[in-house]
Amino acid sequence: MKNLFSGLALTAVLVAPQAGHAFSYDVRVGVSGGQLTTGFHAHGSLPPGGGFANDFITGQNLYPTDFGDFGGGPSATNDPGFQSFAGTLAPGTVVSIQGIGSLEYWTPANQTWAAPSNGELIRVHGAIPTDIALAYTFCQSGGVLCDPALAGQYPFYAQGTHFSANGISGPNPAIIDDADSQGAFHAHLDWFIENPNGTPAPGAYLATFALVADGYLASEPVKVLFNYGLTDGQYLLAFESRIQPVPEPSAVALMLAGLAFLGLWVRRQSVFV
């Protein structure tokens, strides 16, 4: 799959003020052949190069975002958003994210990918199912419509969905929103980075999920690359490590051998000229 995200484009995103990036990317929700699809939707004009990227390892869409970019503190963000347009979905369709795999971590010290080793996790809060939220409200107020069984599920949903080195925990899938009468919706979820053992380590964190909804096949997985505490230059390196393959040692050796041969050939040609 062709990679459309240039380093220049990412730099344009990264240098935007921390109060809110100049370019905010939503996951554009579509449907093709009965399957949910994902694309990119930018608010405002696109940065140079188009601003879209695919993970070279999996071919999955890759969305950049930055903790602390919308005033929720250094450990919170509400990007990316999710958006479908009129005519896309059946009215009332509930769309959710289904966490996949485990959280990945890029360390600035040695610029490699591994699992976070200090207990870091990313927590996202989906919507609480309506019947559970209402039951909890009635029980809290002592209403006659209190349903203890339903209300008892509230804490499970209120804790959020956790992406960690151990996989996904909590409600999974987590509800994003439901489509209106025109089949459209636009919603942003709250994402947080945490470390129960202390402060999260600065780095880039990669979470993977698919979109799911009753009546549709699940989307192909997508990835979100979160920046936590990295400089613009460091985050650019982390991003490029996912969109540009690193040569294998054997490939590097072959390339160097080829360059050496080319240099020898050029020198021999200069002798005979």
For residue range 2-40, what is the model confidence (pLDDT) as tens digits?
A: 333 333 344 444 434 333 344 557 899 999 999 999 998
- Average confidence (pLDDT) over 135-151: 91
pTM, full prediction: 0.80
Residue 256: inside a domain: no
Token reading at 115: 């699992």
Q: Is 209 domain-assigned?
A: yes
Q: Which domain holds residue 179?
A: 7-126+157-248
On whether residue 175 sits in a domain, the answer given is: yes
Tally of domains in the chain:
1
For 104, the 3-state DSSP assignment is strand
Query: Is residue 146, in this structure, part of any structural domain at all?
Result: no
Residue 52 scores a pLDDT above 80: no
Higher pLDDT pick, 54 / 260: 54
pLDDT digits (tens, 9 = 90+) for 58-107: 899 999 899 987 667 889 999 899 999 999 999 999 999 999 999 999 99
Q: For residue 273, is it within any domain?
A: no
Report whether the peptide linkage leading into residue 173 is cis, meaning its omega lies within 30 degrees of zero.
Answer: yes
Mean residue pLDDT of the chain comes to 82
**133 pLDDT above the threshold of 90:** yes
Residue 132 lies in a domain: no
Is 79 domain-assigned?
Answer: yes
Question: Alpha carbon 118 to chain centroid distance?
Answer: 21
- pLDDT over 70 (residue 192): yes
Q: Answer yes or no: is pLDDT of 175 > 70.
A: yes
Instruction: Note whether residue 64 is domain-resident.
Output: yes
The yes-or-no verdict on residue 259 having pLDDT over 50 is no
Q: What is the pLDDT of residue 252?
A: 39
Report the run of H or E that residue 46 belongs to, with start and end: none
Q: Starting from the edge strand earliest in sequence, which strands make up the sheet with 81-84, in order?
A: 35-43, 24-32, 81-84, 185-188
